[in-house]
Structure 1
Amino acid sequence: MGSAYIRRRRETKGQQMATAKRVTAGVLLIGDELLSGRTRDINLSEIAKFLAPIGVSVVECRIVPDEQEEIVAAVNHLRTKCDYVFTTGGIGPTHDDITADAIGAAFGQIVDVRDDALAIIEEWYAKTKTPLTESRKRMARVPAEAVLIDNPVTGAPGFQTGNVFTLAGVPKIARGMLEDIADRIEGGAVTLSRTVATGGLREGDLADGLRELADAYSDVSIGSYPYFFENEAGEIVRGTNLVARSTDEARLDHVIGKLADLSRSVGGQPVIDPADAK
């Protein structure tokens, strides 16, 4: 439902979103394994890419350990600063899965096994012919006033408490849960992004001109992203991608033209919106 919903919003509200308010999100990544480097996070990227077409911009991300006080403090900071907050991790069956308790503490809600969440888990484990242990029942512990989030991958639900969406830490599961929340989000102006590839140019070649353009077009986000790789001949190929972002399509088109002009002025051969742009 989520993907279809996003497409429908883009088709019917494209012009309206150009003048809509900015809607923001914060992401809270929870887990000792992230801080130790044992696990590499990809949830931030997936959440940001999911929200962008709806018109929600991720403005802050935090990583905290499996410590309740740290989680509560981060949740309370982000939920007052951002329109929406997404947490990932800490809702499994083990002793260090304490996110539900932390969310309950942040919102002042009792956390216990809820019948609706338990029914979902019981049905899932019966279908998969897997024993439902007491540890697995922990995944039905949800804040009293939270709204469940469907989990099409493993059954155990996530939950929404106020403006905070609590998702699993496993990327495939977290991504599946996102499909159930698209219609709960009121988006704003969609941020558009375009790229000018400047093969052969380094950031230093462009820095002065970029600074002038950033000052002249302060309402447009302008960034430079250098790259290099070894080609088949063993030569190092260098370049810089210039990326502009804005909610105003006409303004963005104008700035992209200026970035291409800048590239030419220092000997570059700009390619606008290359197929392999990141």
Structure 2
Amino acid sequence: MASGQGAVVTAAVLIIGDEILSGRTQDTNLRDIARYLGVHGVDVSEVRIVPDVIEEIAGALNQLRAKYDYVVTTGGIGPTHDDITADAVAAAFGVELYEDPGIIAEMQGKWEVTPARRRMARIPAGGGLVRNPVQGPPGFTIGNVFVLAGVPSIMRGMLQDVGHRLKGGAVTLSRTVRVAGSGEGVIAAPLETVAKAHPTMSLGSYPFFAPGCFGSNLVLRSRDAAELEATVRELIAALKAAGITDVAEVAEEA
């Protein structure tokens, strides 16, 4: 885990749900969480997907929260019998669940408070709430863990109440160099030479194939803006020196 000024700050994402593991539901939350945390100087370093089993969730959570600065979980905080994330988090921390009166009061202003809905008002002792601006009850946080909904639109809303609580490090910057008309076998040597010259940076090759066109997007990532800029120029020069002519830097996705 990070310590000291300028340290790398890391997070893990724990995705909970049988529907993800079965393939019935495609996860999109990881992308949004990673991008959001990245803006706040927190790198997602590990992702796990676990079934709706209390022991599996609690075991994975205890491993991840000990290893990383933050853990974000998604899924399993709804009103049905298989929504057991709150139970698993309480088990992981060795605390009891309690029914938050503020959540109950909020529910009473909107719906009939059925036993199923009361399940969504339970949070672990010592925990706090994560605001839900979309619909339904809030998520919660305890220790270095943030417990969010699995529904993507609701999860993204809850994320907005997470950023201000993070103690992030330096933001990782990213640049992309696009090579068209040459495969990885051709670009491997110059890419490796540049990568070895900058061991603290991340340089990756991501091939693309389209009708009438193929190539690779070479992604460079660093916390040092000056080194990143110089390395982009160095990589483009190395590729052109190797006879690769269709090379250009492209804009990063927003």
TM-score (norm 2): 0.94
Residues 1:200 and 2:175 aligned together: no
Structure 2 residue identity aligned to 1:221: S
In structure 2, the gaps of 5 or more residues are: none
2:245 matched residue in structure 1:
268
Q: CA deviation at 1:276?
A: 6.7
What does the per-residue CA deviation read over 1:157-195, in whole Å, with 9 as the maximum and x for residues that have no partner? 100010000000001000000111211111101100001
Matches within 5 A, 1:48-63: 48-63=34-49
Q: Which residue of 1 aligns with 2:12?
A: 26
Ranges in structure 1 where 5+ consecutive residues have no aligned partner: 1-18, 231-235
Higher helix proportion, which one? 1
Check whether the contact 1:43–1:174 (CA below 8 A) recurs between aligned residues. Answer: yes
CA RMSD of aligned residues (A): 1.4
- In the alignment, which residue of structure 1 is the partner of 2:96? 110
| 1:112 CA drift (Å) | 2.8
Give yes or no for the alignment of 1:149 onto 2:138: no
Aligned pairs for 1:1-278 (under 5 A) are: 20-123=6-109, 125=110, 130-230=111-211, 236-264=212-240, 265-272=242-249, 274-275=250-251
Instruction: State the 4+ residue runs in structure 1 displaced beyond 3 angstroms.
Output: 275-278
Distance in 2 (CA, whole Å) between partners of 1:116 and 1:131 is: 15
Deviation at 1:215, TM superposition (A): 1.5
Q: Secondary structure at the match of 1:180?
A: coil
SS, match of residue 21 in structure 1: coil
Identity of aligned residues (%): 51
TM-score, normalised relative to structure 1: 0.86
Matched positions, count:
249
2:174–2:252 CA contact under 8 A, matched in 1: no
Following TM superposition, by how much is the alpha carbon of 1:210 offset from its aligned partner in structure 2, in angstroms? 1.7
Deviations 1:181-231 (A, max 9, x none): 21111110110000111111111111122222222211110000110112x
How far apart are residue 277 of structure 1 and its match? Answer: 5.7
